[in-house]
Amino acid sequence: MQAIRTLAEFVADERIIDWLRDQIGQNHRDSKRGASLVSKQSSLPMHCSTCTATKACCSSYVIVRFYEGLVIADQLKRTGRDSPELRAELRARAEAMEATPVREWFTPCLFLDERERCTVYDVRPTTCAQLYVYTPPELCNARSSQISSYTPRKEVAAANQVEEAFRERLSLRRKVGRRYLGVLPRMVLVALEAWDRTDFRDYLRQLPWPTDEAWAAAVSSPA
């Protein structure tokens, strides 16, 4: 008989975190390569590579897939950063983000440190790593409509494929038509709260996961 395992034990035994870290790392590299190619072909400067401005991009509304939250949760666990205080902050951030229209949110990410560095950089969400702009950072900080950025179509499709494969590996296919995604602090919190549960599949399945249509409408709604 197979032992009943917690989410943490399951993802460690099945080497799911290692696999996800590889997939996320590959997506990061593909985004950088794709953005550089557009830069070269169109003679557009890659401002993110040399940006020393306040990271306006890290004050944006960030939607991630659950597996990306899980990998960040694993990193927080391994580096001793999980705590009741962190979870309370994640919860407060998640509730605030979910109650705010996407275009109205402008608050520094809780993973951004005082030196404007991402503290989960290697496993940052693909949404973050896919952003490369070809316009000066001042426009990012002014939240200008003139910002020109890389369009990561292939990389988004690849990340969605990883989500499908991830749900397959975790046997999380019951919610047909819904995606396991949400705002960054919620996805990390859900992963931390599921971490030591042996009923993690039932816990995850009963959460109010959105449909693709619901997220598309939320993201495109005018502020």
Least distance in angstroms from the C-beta of 3 to ligand SF4: 34
Judge whether 18 and 71 are in contact, CB under 8 Å.
no
Query: Is residue 109 at the binding interface for ligand SF4, with CB under 6 A as the rule?
Result: yes
Between 138 and 157, how does the x/- string for binding to ligand SF4 read (CB under 6 A)? --x-----------------
Query: Is residue 65 at the binding interface for ligand SF4, with CB under 6 A as the rule?
Result: no
Query: Is residue 189 at the binding interface for ligand SF4, with CB under 6 A as the rule?
Result: no
Task: Please tell me the count of residues contacting ligand SF4 according to CB under 6 A.
Answer: 21
d(CA 122, CA 140): 23
Task: Name every residue whose Cβ is closer than 8 Å to that of residue 40 and which is 6 or more positions away in sequence.
Answer: none
Residue 19 Cα distances to 161, 162, 180, angstroms: 13, 10, 18
Query: Is residue 190 at the binding interface for ligand SF4, with CB under 6 A as the rule?
Result: no
Q: Phi, psi at residue 106, to the nearest 5°? A: -155, 85
Q: Within a 10 A sphere around the Cβ of 178, how many other Cβ atoms?
A: 15
Instruction: Please give the residues from 2 up to 61 whose contact with ligand SF4 meets the rule CB under 6 A.
Output: 47-48, 51, 53, 55-58
Query: Is residue 137 at the binding interface for ligand SF4, with CB under 6 A as the rule?
Result: yes
Judge whether 63 and 219 are in contact, CB under 8 Å.
yes
Contact residues toward ligand SF4 (CB under 6 A) are 47-48, 51, 53, 55-58, 62, 109, 111-112, 118, 120, 124-125, 128, 131, 133, 137, 140
